[in-house]
């Protein structure tokens, strides 16, 4: 297991212990999809509900971090600081898509004995486009190209599979 995966396992265990429902988004999610990007933090969309604040405080205690709101009062982002990698929790994405909507298109990613929900590349692209920050705009061509390559590869595999079935007949 790589360093990145062991970090995700540790993070996932703390999230699960705290009872948080999350979907990995942002560059970390794009990297899992195969995009050649780097990131300095891990972003999660978190399900909003009445006990969210308590669950986030429980996560902070379990994971040994401090929670901040770096862009108050306008942001609905909560940042966990105090470890080697910052963790951002977003309640709302710039694209306006709901947690349920993002989850309906998310893929399951296995890390060790755990499964992490990862936003679809299409949802990552849409959120980056809506955010409109310079760093998000810079990532968009790479994300779009990665999505095209992945789609082309999947289409190639389908065609190959059809060809093999036809030859067997």
Binning pLDDT at 50, 70 and 90, where does residue 168 land? low
Residue-range definition of the domain harbouring residue 162:
3-168
Number of domains forming the structure of the chain = 1
DSSP secondary structure letter of residue 71: T
What CATH number has the domain bearing residue 70?
3.30.460.40
**Gap between the Cα atoms of 55 and 50, Å rounded:** 10
Q: What is the mean pLDDT of residues 129-155?
A: 90
Is the pLDDT assigned to residue 2 strictly greater than 60? no
Each residue's pLDDT tens digit, 145-166: 999 998 888 888 888 877 777 7
Each residue's pLDDT tens digit, 32-85: 999 999 888 999 999 998 999 999 999 999 999 999 998 766 677 899 999 989
Coil, helix or strand for 104? helix
Place of tokens 């929670």: 67
pLDDT given at position 74: 65
What is the model's pTM? 0.86
């Amino acid at each position: 297991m790589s360093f990145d995966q062991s970090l995700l396992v540790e993070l996932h265990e703390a999230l699960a212990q705290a009872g948080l429902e999350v979907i990995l988004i942002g560059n970390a999610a794009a990297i899992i999809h195969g995009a050649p990007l780097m990131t300095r933090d891990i972003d999660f969309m978190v399900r909003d509900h009445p006990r969210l604040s308590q669950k986030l405080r429980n996560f902070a205690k379990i994971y040994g971090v401090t929670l901040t709101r770096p862009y108050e009062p306008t942001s609905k982002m909560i940042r966990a600081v105090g470890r080697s990698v910052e963790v951002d929790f977003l309640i709302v994405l710039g694209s306006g898509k709901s947690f349920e909507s993002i989850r309906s298109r998310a893929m399951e990613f296995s890390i060790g004995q755990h499964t992490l929900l990862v936003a679809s590349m299409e949802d990552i692209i849409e959120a980056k486009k809506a955010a409109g920050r310079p760093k998000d705009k810079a990532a968009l061509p790479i994300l779009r190209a990665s999505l095209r390559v992945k789609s082309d590869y999947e289409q190639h595999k389908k065609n190959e599979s059809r060809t093999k079935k036809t030859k067997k007949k």
